Amino acid sequence: MPAGKTSPAGNTAPAGNTVQPAGLRIRLVVPGNVRHNSGGNVYNTALARELAALGADVDIRPLDGGWPVGSPEDRRRLAALLRGGDSGAANDHDAAHHVDGGVDDAGGTNDHSAADRRVTLVDGLLACGAPEELAAATAAGQPAWILLHMPLDDTGHGEAGLERRALRAAAGVICTSTSAAAGVRARHGPDGVRTALPGSDPAALAAGSEPPHLLALAALLPNKDQSLLLAALSDLTDLPWTASLVGSDTADPAYAARIRDTVNRLGLQDRVRIPGELRGGALEAEWATADLSLLISRAETFGLVVTESIARGVPVVVRACTGAVEALAAGTPEAAVPGTAVALGADPAPLTRALRRWLSEPGLRTRWRAAAVDARDRLPGWDATARAVLAALDPQHSVQDHLDPQHSVPDHPDPERPAVQPRAAPWAAPWDAPPEKPPAEDSPAAPAGGQ
């Protein structure tokens, strides 16, 4: 963190992790069709904020469309942005949002002369389905970088081929998790993929509740598997607890309606709340009451809600073999993990056993809580994410030697230096493994999914 930046626990980080982005102008093209508070949207917003705080001039361009492939008109507007012009925005969501880097180190105002360095960074949800547009921008002397949150789902419409061509046409690729980077390399084998792991914002410690309160913060979508969670909870009604399923109910209204019906069918309406998507004070109030959070998505590349939970001292249960395992390991020593990863399929029984043990054993609750409170002191901030991105986009003007190696991992490290590997999460295991002595052979998760 730069001088003056505080960790979630309020500790001031030392100066020295510096970059010199003054004069760097970054056009960040993001999807406008994802309206809910997704992990990708949170990442993009925090990245833009911290890039500007470091001195870069950031121009955010939301672009509506039927992404990830889009219509011909969608791709025409994307092509215009990639060439440095206006998108021909047809609505308010396509309006630019400018984040100015402010003053330079000498106290003067950043001017934008011809000597300025200009870079375009495009969210992979748009870029990976538009290889021709990327190639045309490169041919016009305006190559764009891809910020890839997750590989495209292959639905049988040639997405993998489009993605492969897009990655080859891009100036470079930055993945937002090591699992996403591994997935891209496994599918396409590109050179030079870098990672810039998500950061976290400072947050107040959660006070918790009596009886214990469980929080599942995710859009109501089949991938997030709230139906499995409800099935697990239905076998725990002999124990005291409450739960909230907080997240957008408009992304898939039919699934959201089924989840609400399931709550009533299982007789959980006095225990489980489904308030929809919450923001601001309402969301913070929900966090303040939480004792345990859950992210049991069938697939995740990272899972920002996991680090958001740890920042509040709230332990987390995640699904094994997903990228959420990596998030749970963030800032955590191997001996004290703030939660666990449960091997899950269609059967809710393993999750029921995990929750029953947590609800029934005060000592386990205490250990997980203590591990979460301890881990929040070591969570990296979003400034580390921004520095990792700057090191990739503008290496000649970035001091890479001071970057956190877990935040920026080159595909081909300098052969003169020891290779730095992202930290594995060796503790993730089926619930019945003793949490105090996690098996050493496990590794983080599979390279598929989405936040």
Express each pLDDT in 310-354 by its tens digit: 999 999 999 999 999 999 988 766 667 899 999 999 999 999 999
Task: List b or e across 172-196, with b for residues whose CB sees 16 or more CB atoms inside 10 angstroms.
Answer: bbbbbbbbbbbbbbebbebeebbbb
Q: Domain range holding 158?
A: 24-195
Lowest mean pLDDT among 86-95, 249-258, 401-410: 401-410
Mean pLDDT, to the nearest integer, of 251-263?
97
204 within some domain: no
- Domain's final residue, options 330, 347, 376: 376
Beta bridge mates, 174: 147, 194
Tell me: do 368 and 237 sit in the same domain. yes
Task: Domain count for the chain, please give it.
Answer: 2
Tell me if 185 is assigned to some domain. yes
Average pLDDT over residues 379-402: 81
- Claim to verify: residue 163 and residue 223 sit in the same structural domain: no
For 269-302, write each residue's pLDDT tens digit.
999 999 999 999 999 999 999 999 999 999 999 9
Determine the pLDDT at residue 131: 95
341: in domain: yes
Q: Are residues 180 and 252 in the same domain?
A: no
Between the CA of residue 148 and those of 125, 172, 177, what are the distances in Å? 7, 10, 9
- Flag whether 280 is in a domain: yes
Residues 180 and 249 in one domain: no
How many whole angstroms separate alpha carbon 370 and alpha carbon 337? 9
Q: What is the pTM of this model?
A: 0.77
Query: What CATH number does residue 314 fall under?
Result: 3.40.50.2000
Looking at the domain assignment, is residue 2 inside a domain?
no
Q: Is residue 421 part of a domain?
A: no
Residue 392 lies in a domain: no
| Residue 39 is assigned to a structural domain of this protein | yes
pLDDT value of position 165: 93
Cβ-based neighbours of 65, under 8 Å, separated by 6 or more: 31, 32, 33, 71, 73, 74, 75, 77, 78, 126
Residues 333 and 364 in one domain: yes
- Are residues 156 and 45 located together in one domain of the fold? yes
Task: State whether 134 and 44 are in the same domain.
Answer: yes
CA separation for the pair 380, 269 (Å, rounded): 38
What span, in angstroms and rounded, lies between the C-alpha atoms of 325 and 323? 5
Report the distance separating Cα 408 and Cα 193, nearest Å.
Answer: 10
Same domain, residue pair 222 and 350: yes
Pairing between β-strand 97-99 and β-strand 57-63 as defined by DSSP bridges: antiparallel
91 and 234 co-located in one domain: no
Strand order in the sheet with 194-195: 97-99, 57-63, 24-31, 117-123, 144-148, 172-175, 194-195
Do residue 179 and residue 235 come from a single domain?
no
158 and 243 in a single domain? The answer is no
What's the pLDDT at 70? 84
Within this chain, do residues 347 and 282 fall inside the same structural domain, yes or no? yes
- pLDDT score of 21: 62
Of 31, 59, 33, nearest to 43 by C-alpha is 31
